[in-house]
Amino acid sequence: MSKVTKLLHTRYRVNDLERTVNFYRAVLGLEETRRHKSPRGSELVFLKTAGSEELIEITYFPGSGPVQVQPDLTHLAFEVDSLEEFGKHLAAHGLKYSDGPTTSSSGTTFAFIDAPEGYEIELIQKAKGGA
């Protein structure tokens, strides 16, 4: 049986490439791994976290028209050690949580922030004991 073997990347198309890439680098601490222009003219920037192999592809392709992200369509989720400390980091960037922090019945706590373009980012602090 043929099947996929690995998640490689997730793509988000944006209107302002540099503003979005700067957010992911400065606020979330992602590393830019490569940048290039595709044969069809898209500008592509690939980013990753230190603890993952999967990449996030941020794409600017004006030929497709403006990006309009509808609320609650999709989000990326990242693990953090402490939502309290990350909240302080956000404040230093003039940002705050758009929802939460909220603790689930398992003890895991999560919160959301709004990225440029209207995409949502979920931040998860796992419960002590790894739940």
pLDDT digits (tens, 9 = 90+) for 32-81: 999 999 998 999 999 999 989 999 999 999 888 899 998 888 999 999 99
The sheet with strand 55-60 has its strands ordered as 9-13, 55-60, 43-48, 31-37
61 closest CA partner among 42, 36, 37, 46: 42
What the chain holds in terms of domains, given with CATH numbers, is 7-61 (3.10.180.10), 74-131 (3.10.180.10)
What's the pTM value of the predicted model, to 2 decimals?
Answer: 0.90
